Amino acid sequence: MKIKNVLGYTLIFTILTINCKEKNQTNADQLHGTITFLRGTVDLNGNSPKIGQIVAGKDKITTRENSSAVIQFSTSAIITLESNTSVEIVKLMQGDENGKPAIDIAQNNGSTFNKIVPGKADYRIHTPTITAGVRGTSFSVETTSDKESSIRLFKGTVALQKPADMETANTTEGTAAEEPEVILVAGNKISVKNDVIEKPVSMEEKELEKLEKLNDIALLPKENIEKIESASKESEKQVEEVQKEIPVVVPVETQKALNIEVKAAETEKKAAPAASAPKEMTLDDLRKKYGKLSKISTNDGRTFIGYFNQVGGSMEIMTTKGKVTINVSQIEKIASYDN
């Protein structure tokens, strides 16, 4: 009888241990977002968030006047909320071993800028009038009312459908949506008014300039994300110390484009090297000084042309506008610019 009891307790303990391990593993593998930038008044589920805080599925984030927030999803994508914007994280799924993370976001009002690393995520953002599905691109979404929204595409392609068509495609087995997808190409914008998708038109120069600045928002490497998440569990001071060690998430010029207040410390940080910055050079000047030039692409969509030199874990790139230093982990491709 005692032996049976011991065997029974052992079996129960083993089952509980396995369940706990599986639960812990699931939690560890769960896809989540991380707040990498905050400015002004931002609300997360009724509370004031902090940099490094985790954002999960079903969370709601709202920014007020002259406010902004950046949320990064692993190393796959980032979303920037401009002033007076409200979004809900509808779905975050890690995907299987060979699959891509699935990220679904509902934008109720306001403006967002979305940047997705090519091949790293199945990303969809929904407004009351349109759904944008992407796999690698940079674009903005503006929702002005329940009947009007617009999308401006800076890089890549976006497939657009009205929400009703998405439901038809998703619920009718083997049946395509009633209306075909509208494919938007880089440099164009499209509006949806009163349930009608208008023809794409080219963006104005000012619109492109703003998107170019928003595209400079940094997608941090995994190790930096882990640092700020860990620091956020300790203190604000610790977060500030970590921020000094990692790349600037939102450059000063981008903050100005977002119409949010630039902190004095950030202005000074940018102004200091500017005083001793070298005179702007031409590509011919660079060739004469360094020889053949290269084209360096980063995994967050930036491109640099110039002469590069690796120093430890950093890469120094001499461009026409001066020296740029980036983390080696952010390099996606290096190719010859001078054949």
Q: Stretch 29-34: mean pLDDT, rounded?
A: 83
pLDDT digits (tens, 9 = 90+) for 216-248: 999 999 999 999 999 999 999 999 999 998 989
Where b means 16+ CB within 10 Å and e means fewer, 242-257 reads bbeebbbbbbeebbeb
Percent of the chain whose predicted confidence (pLDDT) is above 90: 55
Is 31-214 CATH 2.60.120.1440?
yes
| Planar angle of CA 332, 335, 339, nearest 5 degrees | 170
CA dihedral 41, 45, 47, 53 (to 10 degrees): -90
pTM value surpassing 0.75: no
pLDDT digits (tens, 9 = 90+) for 239-297: 999 999 898 999 999 999 999 988 766 665 554 444 444 467 888 888 888 888 999 99
Cα→Cα distances 88→10, 108, 116, Å: 45, 8, 18
Instruction: Give the pairing of strands 68-73 and 33-39.
Output: antiparallel
Tell me the CATH number of domain 277-339, given options 3.30.110.40, 3.40.50.1860, 2.30.30.100, 3.40.50.300.
2.30.30.100
